[in-house]
Amino acid sequence: MTTQTTAAQTAGTPAADTPKGLIGIPETIGRALATAGGALAVVSTFLAWTWTSEFPGDLTVYGYPGGLQVLVLIGGALTALFGLASYGVKGLRWLVPAGADSALKLAALGTFVTAWYTIIAISTTLGGLVNLEPGGWIAAVTTLAALVGALALPFERPVLDAADPDDSGWEAFRHNARNQGAVLKAAIASGTASPARKLPSYAEILIIVAALAVGLIVFTYGIGTEYDELFVGFLITAGFGFAAVAKAGLVGRISAITAKHRTVTMVGAFVAAAAFPFTQSDDRYATIGVYILIFATVALGLNIVVGLAGLLDLGYVAFLGVGAYTAAMVSGSPTSPFDIHLPFWLSALIGAAVAMVFGVVIGAPTLRLRGDYLAIVTLGFGEIFRIAVLNMDGTSGPDITNGSNGISSVPNLNILGFDFGQQHDILGVSIGRFSNYFLLMLLITLVVVVVFRRSSDSRIGRAWIAIREDETAALAMGINGFRVKLIAFALGATLAGLAGTVQAHVTYTVTPEQYQFAHVVPPNSAFLLAAVVLGGMGTISGPLVGAALLYLIPAKLQFLGDYQLFAFGLALVLLMRFRPEGLIPNRRRQLEFHEEAEAPTVLSKAGA
């Protein structure tokens, strides 16, 4: 393996000269400028940025950051941290196993964008740059200096062996693995990366706890943003921050630790999620939380069909509707054609069972199709379900679903005397209606996660993956492709139906409009599929994160009006362009999309 020469070396400059980056500043000066700029950006957040409190967040206070200043503080701290790590400061090298330079560039860019966005927003809202106080000017200059310094860092990429286009899948996989090792060895030899170091188990568990705590804080902060400018700044900071941490290799290193302690991670994630309602003073934020859990649970069920078995299902939201309608009919609703009021556990089982039956009935005649043909058939099923329940109004068909009016007044749940529609005091904290349903939905999500994990690790799970990778080869090896795919279809439908039974009680009313292919408000089939692909196919945490983002972002971008879907679609295009394997991909998909696997992925396996 060789290393590409810099432009200066190509022109005949001696190799001993100081390497240059995208701009003609020596590396040492650029590194110092980026580190100092990040630190000074932190200092600027403790100064007033404007003279009036009319701008949201009250940026007039000295000594106490508020609103968008907090986000600039976080970005500046990350920039300074990666800058110090790039000097090889002892104790910080563990945070940058893949090297700090790329992470430093992303952190500096994110801080610059957030600070300048804030300055432009202040000027636009208040009427000109004259409304800026010294703190705002200092933030503008220091973040620009940090970005300029980061762009001065050199960029060198190892040249990898070219792949043979005639290689088989296994040979290509081994070729990529060899290139990964070469990249990692070169990075460690040059001092830009650090080899994985074995930590004691208690230290790894503490790292997991810290990562979950950070995740809870970020999620809570994103939901609780009180005004539009703050949410946009949050997206900028969170996006660039995650990209920087991923480039540093820290995401891969933590992923390896969580994979090693899967049970601890699952329990810790459940506890962190259960703590969310206790961090909210307003039940309206818990409303977003419970809908995110419903969306995420259904996306995880779809991940079995799409992520594990490789079946493109475009009508999956119909199974959610089957479960919701079934539960609404047997839960004592006055508009239900059946005078039945079953306990929740029984209605949940019936809803899941009916959805499973629909999955089998629809899957049996259609799963012999592949690819686009299967996608078209499932899309047709989703529309057939919506039109069928719309016509069952007693006029166009039998009086079962009340047509467009749906089944309304679904009563609140009452389990063992605990009324989910009433406010309760738990541990000295008042928990409202949506917080109650959030905790219930969290238990169901845990059940779905366990089912997904056990299924993917089982023999049938390996058969799903074999079908997804190469159905012809799997059939030749003796796998009953039709039976395996039907099981995946039925199991995915069952999990969606289970989530639908809770949705019926949360929304009070079940109507056909909730289950369109591309509805403005998720969940719908298009958003569900996007959540699986965006988060990371075949993983547990991927669809959960993808669903959270795909529900939260549209809910917070309503101020854009007609441009909401345009901005949302543009963000998805950019994300798929720069990270097509998803936010939290598994190792196989990462190798499929990148000829050279990132160092964090290799280190995660080494650390495991």
Phi/psi of residue 431, nearest 5 degrees: -110, 120
- Residue 167 confidence class, pLDDT cut points 50, 70, 90: very low
Nearest to 528 by CA among 385, 358, 309, 315: 315
What pLDDT does residue 490 have? Answer: 92
- Residue 566 confidence class, pLDDT cut points 50, 70, 90: confident
Q: Where are the beta strands (DSSP E) in 131-209?
A: 158-159
Parallel/antiparallel/unpaired status of strands 429-431 and 2-3: unpaired
CATH of 283-415+433-556, one of 2.60.120, 1.25.40, 1.10.3470, 3.40.190: 1.10.3470
Alpha helices in 277-343 (DSSP H): 283-303, 317-329
Q: Which two structure tokens, joined as six digits, stand for 153?
A: 């860092």
**Could you report the per-residue pLDDT of 13-59, keeping only the tens digit for each?**
344 444 556 667 788 888 999 999 999 999 999 999 998 888 888 89
Residue the block writes with tokens 């300029």: 148
- Residue 588 confidence class, pLDDT cut points 50, 70, 90: low
Residue 367, CA distances (Å) to 415, 476, 495 in order? 39, 18, 19
Decide: pTM greater than 0.75: yes
Q: Are 356 and 494 in contact (CB under 8 A)?
A: yes
Q: Cα–chain-centroid distance for residue 91?
A: 29
What pLDDT does residue 76 have? Answer: 94
Q: What is the CB neighbour count within 10 angstroms for residue 477?
A: 10
Calculate mean pLDDT across residues 589-608: 46
- Residue 287 confidence class, pLDDT cut points 50, 70, 90: confident
Instruction: Mark 331-353 as b/e (b = at least 16 C-beta within 10 Å).
Output: bbbebbeeeeebebeebbebbbe
Q: Is the pLDDT of residue 575 over 90?
A: no
Domain boundaries, the chain: 2-158, 283-415+433-556
Calculate mean pLDDT across residues 375-384: 87
DSSP H or E segment with residue 145:
helix 134-151
Q: How far apart are the first and last CA of the chain?
A: 27
Q: Which two structure tokens, joined as six digits, stand for 211?
A: 């990562």
Q: What is the mean pLDDT of the chain?
A: 81
How many Cα atoms are found within 13 Å in the side-chain-facing hemisphere of 57?
Answer: 24
Q: Which two structure tokens, joined as six digits, stand for 119?
A: 């300055």
426 strand-pairing partners: 429
For residues 141 and 139, give the distance between their C-alpha atoms in angstroms, rounded to a whole number: 6
What pLDDT does residue 607 have? Answer: 35
**Could you report the per-residue pLDDT of 197-238, keeping only the tens digit for each?**
677 888 888 999 999 899 888 888 888 888 888 998 999 999
Residue 600, CA distances (Å) to 249, 533, 579 in order? 4, 21, 15
Q: Is the pLDDT of residue 112 over 50?
A: yes
